[in-house]
Chain A
Amino acid sequence: MSTVTIGSKADINAMVEPDRVHKRCYTDQAIFDAEIERIFERTWIYVGHESQVKNVGDYYTTLIGRQPVIMVRAKDGKVNVVYNRCPHRGAMLCADHSGNTGTTFKCPYHAWRFNLDGTLLKIPVIEGYQGTRFDTSDPQFHMKKVARVDSYRGFVFASLVPDVPDLVTFLGGAKIAFDDMCDRAPDGEVEVVPNCFRVIQKSNWKIFLENQLDAVHPSITHEAAGRAAFEVEKDIEKRTGKKAHLQYHMLSAFTMPFHKFDAMDNVGHANGHLVFRGYMDLRRADPEMVEYLKIMNAKHGEKRTEEILSVDIHHVIGYPCLSVQPPLQQLRAIRPIGPDRTLSEIWHFRLKGAPEGMYRRALAYYQLVNSPSTTINADDLENWWRCQQGLFSSGGDWVSFHRNAGQDRVQANGTIVSVTGMSELPMRHMMGAWKNYMVKGAAQ
């Protein structure tokens, strides 16, 4: 390895084998830097939802790769994404996670002002620039716009480079994450619910994505929470003679036996996207579902309603930054900070036009699984940290993705389907995409 340049094509190819990957993918700072440059700063990254910036001047700040950006609603109603940097001396223009900046951005340092598309509006003591190389028409004196911004059904993505396919083409098989979530809304739209939970994972960003579609881990990692939920669920049912709220089942289901996960499957799509199919028991006899079905049937007719609800997806990975659970109205966006540090931005959504009870289901999942008091992710975060620590060691060089390796079924349309929901196809598939991005980037 010593003669191979870190991050070169030969290095990348040597790190990713069909059934195992080298630990350096998770631990090496130079590889991490290359990932940011070749993946996160070279493709479509989720920024936020349009409903986060409803009014003119509403903004939201986040990261695309290492770049701090602002998503803002402009006067013409458009959602812009601009670098969060004043072209004068570099100060960030918006320092809060979100807020309203009025009709302009104003730098707190020297009061340079910019329109909401980033163009320079006004600077004080302009006469001092006479006879200098400063020129208001020069783009270097405007806030930089990201190269591409587009949204799909209200979900805003941006790319720092122009040479990417259009958003819908990029999303491909992952598009269903947004279709499934929005179609379930009687009004065909979803709305974000503040606040956003932000939780740091002390592990590599890929460990999170790999965990999301790993169907062998739930009953092991989450045994304690699942059993506890099951006991309380049974106790409530004994005490009241009625079914406990779905929230208990949401947690007790984490301890589902292996054969139930076996019946599910994973579908790998182009660009590393994945769809985990099966198991979303919506308990149609629950009062909120009865009410919801009535509204959906009235709006769409029974046939279309059934079509919408029979889309049975547990989880979608929008590679490289999104984990979406459409029927639970949850979305987690990850922002890699370092090889062993990842920020997760966790959101949930309201189905427009759906009864309050349907929102309460999403809220329960949001609080019990995704909040900073979660009894579920507490054990995930522990395991991810343990993985990261172990990978730093010299106790071994490889990460194993051998489960059902060689059995993935390539379909006529180019997708790849697992033989069981417990297959490690998702990990192999994502690392395949990783390799493509990294090799392509090495050549550039």
Chain B
Amino acid sequence: MSGVRASEKSGSATQFAEEFDGKPLPPMAQVSGDLQREVERFLYRQAEILDDRRWDDYVALFMESGHYWMPVTEAQTTGDGVPSIFYEDVDLMRLRAKRVMHPRAWSQKPGHRTSHVVSNVIIESVDAAGNLVVRSKFYMSEFRRDAVRHFAGKYRHELKKTAGGYKIELQRVDLVNGDGTWDYVIQTWV
């Protein structure tokens, strides 16, 4: 809560100073090229699933305990009990998927198409069980009814290593303009 308040109260110039002054760079683990490529493949696959509008497949990328979280500002440290743009467990994600696929979801007539590019993949940490924390950058172009919108920002994935491959425990999505004014809404995950 306090993080949200701070950003709501301080002007943008002071906010930058407060956030980065004297803080060390975010961590970056030394990993093998193989692990790096494996993680990148996972992120590319996720982007492809989103762009192909395979909503059930997208939800299936998450642990049953997993969350998709898009905070309003970078200062937020949790999505639990704090207003966010998205804070969805897998049940709420299933709701979103069902709604978007429903034949009478009027704002999906026409629907939207997206193209994601994921890059700048940095593995932040690897624990003994092989679970990962991964930061990356994305750019998403969205087309709907003659208009293109642009979304950019960063992902932070907490990935669990399971017998069936990596699963998402938490996907955090920070848009560069999360606290800006929204022209229309976003109907599916970014």
Binding site for B on A (CB under 8 A): 58, 96, 98-100, 193-195, 197-200, 202, 221, 223-225, 227-229, 231-232, 235-236, 244, 247-248, 251, 343, 348, 356, 359-360, 363, 366-368, 371-375, 377-379, 381-383
Contacts and interface: CB of A to CB of B under 8 A. Distances in A.
Contacts of B45: none
Contacts of A379: 105-107
A224 B81 contact: no
Given A99-B11, A100-B9, A224-B106, A367 B83 contact: yes
Contacts of B102: 223-224, 227-228
Given A100-B9, A229-B95, A360-B81, A375 B182 contact: no
B171 interface: no
B170 to A, nearest CB: 17
Given A100-B10, A200-B182, A379-B106, A193 B99 contact: no
A21 B159 CA distance: 57
Contact of B98 (A197, A232, A236, A378): A232
Contacts of A197: 72, 83, 85, 182
A367 B185 contact: no
Interface in B77-121: 81-87, 91-92, 94-100, 102-108
B186 A373 contact: yes
Contact of B104 (A224, A248, A367, A374): A224
B186 A372 contact: yes
A367 to B, nearest CB: 6
Contact of B99 (A198, A228, A348, A360): A228
Contacts of A371: 83-86, 185
B183 A231 contact: no
A194 B11 CA distance: 15
Contacts of A99: 9-11
A378 B185 contact: yes
B183 A383 contact: no
Contact of A198 (B70, B105, B182): B182
Nearest to B87: A367
18 contacts: A100-B9, A100-B10, A195-B72, A195-B73, A197-B83, A197-B85, A202-B183, A223-B104, A228-B97, A228-B99, A228-B102, A359-B81, A367-B84, A367-B87, A372-B85, A372-B186, A378-B107, A379-B107
A199 B179 contact: no
A444 B92 CA distance: 53
Given A100-B10, A360-B81, A381-B185, 11 more contacts: A96-B11, A194-B4, A198-B180, A198-B182, A200-B182, A224-B100, A232-B95, A247-B92, A343-B181, A379-B105, A383-B106
Contacts of B184: 199-200, 202, 381
A327 B98 CA distance: 28
Nearest to B76: A195
Contacts of A372: 85, 182, 185-186
A224 B85 CA distance: 20
Nearest to B97: A228
B99 A224 contact: yes
Nearest to A232: B95
Contacts of B72: 195, 197
B86 A195 contact: no
Contacts of A228: 95-99, 102
Contact of A377 (B70, B183, B185): B185
Nearest to B10: A99
A378 B91 CA distance: 19
A194 B184 CA distance: 20
Contacts of A58: 9
Contact of B181 (A200, A202, A221, A251): A200
A348 B72 CA distance: 15
B8 A195 contact: yes
B83 A193 contact: yes
Given A194-B5, A382-B106, A375 B99 contact: yes
Given A202-B184, A375-B187, A363 B95 contact: no
Contacts of B106: 221, 224, 379, 382-383
A228 B96 CA distance: 7
B183 A200 contact: yes
A98 B91 contact: no
Contact of A195 (B99, B104, B105, B179): B179
B65 interface: no
B12 interface: yes
Closest 10 pairs (CB-CB, A-B): A224-B102, A228-B98, A224-B105, A382-B107, A194-B8, A228-B99, A198-B181, A372-B182, A99-B11, A378-B107
A331 to B, nearest CB: 14
Contacts of A194: 4-5, 8, 83
Given A96-B12, A375-B95, A199 B4 contact: no
Nearest to B175: A372
B86 A373 contact: yes
Contacts of B84: 367, 371
Contacts of B73: 195
Given A195-B8, A236-B91, A363 B83 contact: yes
A251 B183 CA distance: 23
A363 B83 CA distance: 7
